[in-house]
Chains A and B, each alone.
Chain A
Amino acid sequence: MILTKRTRTGVLGAAAVLALILSACGNDSSSGSKTDVKVDDSAKFPAGSTMANLADAGKITIGVKIDQPGIGFQKPGADAPEGFDIEMGRVIAGALGIDDSGINWKETISDNREPFIQSGDVDIVLASYSITDDRRKIVGQAGPYYVTGQQLLVRTEDADKITGPDDLQGVKVCSVEGSTSLATVQDKYGADPTPQGTYSECVDALKNGTTDVVTTDGAILLGYAAEAPDELKVVGDPFSEERYGVGYKKGDTEFCQFITDTIKAAESDGTWATAFENTLGQSGVDTPDPPELDPCQ
């Protein structure tokens, strides 16, 4: 490309304007209320254990979702994601003596969580990662650190017609492609799945009438309903049980025990509840009792 003097000035000018716009965007992106997390610098771990390796390196890579408001969500332009999964990730990192600057947040989608754990691309995964027997065949899952249930989000005018999962026969239901929620309504309740890439695309499809129901964990739906209370409504009781777990490399029982103990401690000292109030609690749900954790196998 040949740059004449004039176009060069133009390019530089455009770059300057762009830089201004970008920096302006960056200003209001400071993330909201963060939970105070104990960073335990004096923690001692058995030599050679995963915990010792991570603590010595002072770095941890955590796989999270960045498109689920309240759970794991990165605002446009923000440096780090926020949400309940993120807070729990910070709690675990803190117990290893790693502060926020040592955490590398890596986006995972539902499909690549197991490959990321197996290949070591991430150290742990907190990505609304429901514990299932089949997943436990190939990865470790500690927890649950949160138990939620699937609910339905409908347009306000349909709230009388669709009141629960039994009304879903042949109804167009949206959720994220490859998600457990979508499989449940399809296989158990005969719904007609219309998968999208993200929940916000599902909500758009619900608003423009190309789909009739959005389903996923209630907490996420409440967030969307709160944004458009005249248009959208969450209906029915939770009809499935999703137990969110922390994914780690299969067989690392020591590490599992550490994660389980850390979450238990956070549950009993109130950090868990504060983290919930700062994230999922913002949509108006009451803070539930912390769940009982499975023993490590």
Chain B
Amino acid sequence: MQILIDNFSEIVDGFVVTLWLLLFAGLIAAVLGTVLVAMRVSPITVLRGAGTSYINVVRNTPLLLILFLFRDAFPKLGFNYSINNYFDFFFVAATVGLGLYAAAFVCEALRSGINSIPVGQAEAARAIGMSFGQTMRQVILPQAFRASVPPLVSTYIALAKNTSVALAIAVTEATFVMKKLTNDHPSERWWIFVGFAGGYILIVWVIALIGNVFERRGALAR
């Protein structure tokens, strides 16, 4: 127990990196996931095909493999982007990798929402002369989003926990701090595990809470 108190600031530093990963990767996933789902339900065959291919490739590839790809292939190709010393190359690589990976799941969560809207609504929108874009923006997506909240929450919870995989490509997030502490203090191993599990549970709990708020609002608006 004492071990968690003594190293509290270091543990917090680790979880701050975890939260930055979650935030940036989550934003990438939200934007790209929305674009992808629009492609997947669009009337244009090429876009549908491209969206489906993306999902099939990215969703079926292990996350660790995607992260290794970014770590190894990009420096060889000359991409060595880092924003500053804190958001370094490894952080950027991990964020992009996590974001692209989670986007596939966000897309599918949103698509499940769209599929839950009766096709009659889209037909009615078309009948009064709305374009595809208008139909999506004003009729389908607002309702689809509400129906998608539970699977989206699951996706973001998975993303929060998947940030721990970034340890494998040299991001010093919470799991890195945990491994450092277990190596330095093997006799305190169990308390360290309990402490870090608690940290992740807290993050996930907040995400679930936000999800609940959205769900309740959706229920009222319907």
Contact = CB atoms under 8 A, between A and B. Distances in A.
A62 B78 CA distance: 43
Contacts of A177: 167, 176, 179-180
A208 B76 contact: yes
Contact of A210 (B80, B184, B189): B80
A231 to B, nearest CB: 15
A182 B183 CA distance: 11
B144 to A, nearest CB: 40
A178 B170 contact: no
Contacts, number: 69
B167 A210 contact: no
A114 B80 contact: no
A205 B170 contact: yes
A108 interface: no
B89 A210 contact: yes
Nearest to B188: A134
Interface residues of B, number: 25
A194 B183 contact: no
Interface in A131-164: 132, 134-135, 137-139
Interface string B162-198: 0000011110100010011011111111000000000
A194 B71 CA distance: 12
Contacts of A197: 168
Contact of A134 (B72, B85, B170, B186): B186
Given A172-B88, A208-B75, A210-B75, A180 B184 contact: yes
Output the residue of A177, A183, A204 with the most chain B CB within 10 A.
A177
B101 interface: no
Contacts of B185: 134
A297 to B, nearest CB: 16
Given A138-B186, A208-B75, A182 B89 contact: no
A180 B170 contact: no
B90 interface: yes
B187 A137 contact: yes
Contacts of A110: 183
Interface string A176-196: 011110110010000011111
A111 B179 contact: yes
B184 A209 contact: no
A204 B72 contact: yes
A195 B170 contact: yes
A118 B90 CA distance: 36
Interface in B40-86: 71-72, 75-76, 80, 85
Interface of B: 71-72, 75-76, 80, 85, 88-90, 167-170, 172, 176, 179-180, 182-189
The 10 closest A-B pairs by CB, nearest first: A178-B179, A194-B170, A208-B75, A178-B183, A137-B187, A114-B186, A138-B187, A210-B89, A134-B185, A210-B75
9 contacts: A132-B184, A170-B85, A177-B167, A177-B179, A180-B184, A195-B170, A195-B179, A197-B168, A210-B71
